[in-house]
Structure formats: C-alpha cells, structure tokens
Copies of this chain bind each other. A is one copy, B any other.
Amino acid sequence: MRGLMMETPLLVSSIIRHATLNHGDTEIVSRDASGATHRYTYADAYRRSSQLANALTRAGVREGDTIATMAWNDYRHFEAYYGISGIGAVCHTINPRLFHEQIAYIINHAEDAYVLFDPGFIEMIERHASGCPIVKGWIAMCERNEMPESSLKNLICYEDFIGGEPEHYDWPVLDENSACGLCYTSGTTGDPKGVLYSHRSTVLHAMTSAMPDAMNLSARDTVMPVSSMFHVMAWGLPYSATMVGAKLVLPGPNLDPESLCQLFVEEAVTITAGVPTIWLGLVAHLQKTGARLGSLKRILIGGAACPKSLIAALEDDYGVEVVHAWGMTETSPIGTLNTMKASHAGLTAAERHEIQAKQGRGVFGVEMKIVDDAGVELARDGVAFGDLLVRGPWICSAYHRLGHVETLRDGWLPTGDVATIDADGYMQITDRSKDVIKSGGEWISSIALENLAVGHPAIREAAVIGIPHPKWSERPLLIVVVNQGESVSRDELLGFFDGKVTKWWKPDDVVFVDELPHTATGKLLKAKLRKDYELFGSRA
C-alpha cells in the first residue's frame, strides 16, 4: 500500500528557492585574488542564477548536458552550481590541481559543452582547448573589462553571457534521481573516475550535514568553506549553508593564514571547513602573531586524518570546536563526523581529544561495516579492524561511463580504508587497504607499527610494509630514518615493540635508510617501498 503524500522531488533548485523566500537579504560575501570584496544576497544570487539558466538554455544546453567549471570559491561559481543544475544540466567541477593531461581527459570524458573558468586559469585553459573539440565555448567568469588577453576561439565573457537575460526561470520539475553534479576522483594512479551526484543525493546530503550532531548549521551562522568548490562540492557547503540560510563567505584563491584570519574577523565567520594542512598553517600563524579568530566557533577538518595535537591546539588554546570528518569523492563526501555524545559530558579535554582523533560516527543515512578478507563482518568493539564498507543514498554505485567496472561489493562501496568501529559507532582509520599487512590469515596495521616506531627517541620517520613470506604470506618489514647524530641497533629497535604489540605483529627485520620516498603532498609512497623491498625476505 502506497502512502498518500505528495510526490515532491528533492531538487537542487528547491534549496536556493527556499533561501530566497526565507533569507533573501542574507549576504554572500566573496573575496577575489586582488583581495577585493564582493557582497550580495541570496535574492541577488537567485536572480543571477536564473539569468545564467536562461543564457545556457538560449545557448542550447539541455537536460543531461554537462557544463564544467574551473574556479575558486566565489559568487559566480555559486551561481554556476545553481544555474547549471537547476535546468537539469550537470555541473562538472574541474580540480585545477589535477595532472595537466588529466584535465583534458576529464573534459573529453565528461563531454563538457561549456567550460566556465576564473580568468586566472586562462593559461591552463589555452593549453587544453585544442585538445577538447567538444567544448562549444570557454566562458571567463568576469566583467568585459577584466577579460584576459587570449587568442582562444569561442572565448565568452560571463557577464556578457548572462547580462540582459530575464531574472526569472521556471525551474523544471526533474526526476530527483537525475544527475546534478560531477566530480572526478584525483587518484594518483590510472585515469580519474567520475562520480555523478543526483539531485536526491545532494539534497539528502545537505539535510544530514546541517543537523546538530553533524555540521550544525543555522541561519544565525556565517559559514566559510575553505574546502574547494572545485573538489567534492566544497563538502556540500554551498548546498547545506544555503538550505539553512546562513551567511556565506567565499574566500577566493588566497588561502594563506593571514587572509583567512582577516576574513574570520571581518565577516564574523562562525563555522569553517578544510583540510588539516590549512589549519596547521593557521595555528602556526596564530602562535607567531598572537592573532585571534574572531567569532569562529567550529572547524570541520577532513580530507586527511587530523592530528590530535591540532585538535588540542584549536580547542584548548583558541576555544574553537573541532569536528573531525571522513569522506571521499564517492561519498558526496560526508561519511562520518566526530561530535560528542551525552555520555562524554564529564571527560577531560585530553580524554575528549582521544575520541576526536577518530574519524567519527556515520551520519544518519550512512551505514558502515568492517569486514575481513572473506567479507565477514567484524565486531564493532574499537579493536577489530577490517576493510571499511559504506552504503547509503549519497554513496556512489558506479562511475560515470564506467558501467562495466565493478564498483560495489554486495551492494556496499569498499572505501579502500581499513578501520575499527567502536560500540558507540565511532570509526577510526587504521590503514589503507593496500598497505595493511596480511600475515597468517590475520591483519597487521602498518600505521600502528609506524606510530610505535617513531615513538623511539632515535627514529625520525618510519614505514612498515608487508613483504612476501612463504609460510605467512606476508610479514612486516620496518624501514626507518634515524635522527641525525643518533643511532639504534636492529635488535634494540625490534625489542622496543615487546609488550607494546602482540608478538606476531613485531616486524621481522629493520632496514635503515637515509630517506623515505614521498608523494608531492608528503604521503609515504608505500607502493614504491613494496617494489624496492619485494625480494628482501628471500635475500635475508
């Protein structure tokens, strides 16, 4: 028996429409590369998004067409989010930090009809234009007098493009499962894969994100996403902040600590979001300058594990609540957020930070489980660890135009992470699936051993990898860099693990090296280490 409720679809256009009707005079503040500030309101943004929708329609863009953006967080990018998706087209945000050859690849793979870009990216656009024959127009997001000098064919000025268009658009009543956004993963191996968000997934993700134990967003907040609108939709904040009618501050390209601090104070920002690197830099700046954070009350930190020391500095020294988050491009991205429960009320700051260093509880709508090699679910006891699988209405079921690639396992998305989940639902990443060491049918966490090794006073950096073993399948090998002027023996270092881990976790051997290989962003290149030391066991 069907319920007898209205079949109102969940649509992106309903988010900005709601904001306009209820928060029409609330501000959206943007800062550009020069440091100049642009201010307007949700009502203005709604009118200009409607103009963009009319311009795109006039240019022949139809439901299901893909329109790309390559832009910083600013008001024109915001208009693109709503103007493009509102008419049923797909807003494909391009990450300008992708490898160059990948940018042309994804423009062609997505079949972008138009590319809207910040004039600052003109050189990058010029380099790729000839390799992207499908693109009908390159739209520079600026005024006519700000247009970059360029010999690019089909170069269009955004303000000319939308200027003179009607300020009203009858947003179509779309199927809520139709696509509204597209973001390619920025994996370091293989071609990027496109994750195709739907109107339904985007609206549900925004609703859950706004909830008190998630990002806790209100019309009384001022929200500044430092997370990029060109990657995973700035964690959905352009949707969730708009849904609640919060004042929105879009910081543009200048994300140095001084620029951020200035915006926090001048615009009375209450909530912000970004990766740990940004906040490590911010804290160093605060410590050096004695600057303060104005009205800031909460920072959402995700994209990489947030160090406990960063949580402690922000909360204890600057009185800003830290919400540790975990997600992926494939999860829209919010999977978990770390907020406290009533039972934590009596904890000391240090005890609280211990919990906060975990990635957090699955928000409502995201189901998580950890499984062993055979796919058997493991205990939610905070100790057992296994491959982390997730499912829910804003989690990717397949990649764009890669329908033949097996994405799910029994209806669940394997995240590529290895994690524990405790009885309260808090998840903690313990490893990447490809880095975990599988020894005698059991798993050993490479990260846990590395963290122990760097606890030895002589060790500067450590990597633990699994190397092939005829009996145990894999055994852990410890590779270390010793602090300058210090020394430690193989046996002393191995003995350092005694009593700290179960016996069979103890690495079999140690390799002393001068340095460890890293990616450009500072992550250990364990794949290279595994290749280099593949034969270590047989040689030993």
Contact = CB atoms under 8 A, between A and B. Distances in A.
Interface string A499-538: 0000000000000000000000000000000000000000
A212 interface: yes
B4 A398 contact: yes
A204 B204 CA distance: 8
B391 A22 contact: no
A318 B203 CA distance: 38
Which residue, A22, A24, A394, has most C-beta atoms of chain B within 10 A? Answer: A22
A6 B211 contact: no
Contact of A179 (B1, B367, B396, B397): B1
Interface string A343-386: 10100000000000000011011010000000000001000000
Given A21-B425, A207-B208, A423-B24, A197 B397 contact: no
Given A342-B219, A423-B24, A3 B200 contact: yes
A198 interface: yes
A341 interface: yes
A23 B244 contact: no
A179 B13 CA distance: 27
Copies in the complex: 2
Interface string A49-62: 00000000000000
Contact of A4 (B345, B365, B400): B400
Interface string A177-220: 11110000000000000011111110010011011110011111
A267 to B, nearest CB: 12
A18 interface: yes
A357 B125 CA distance: 55
A26 B14 CA distance: 35
Contacts of A217: 212
Interface of A: 1-8, 10, 14-15, 17-18, 21-26, 63-64, 90, 175, 177-180, 195-201, 204, 207-208, 210-213, 216-222, 243-245, 247, 332, 339-343, 345, 361-362, 364-365, 367, 380, 391-400, 411, 413, 423-425
6 smallest CB-CB distances across A and B, nearest first, come from A3-B198, A22-B425, A1-B64, A212-B218, A5-B201, A4-B196
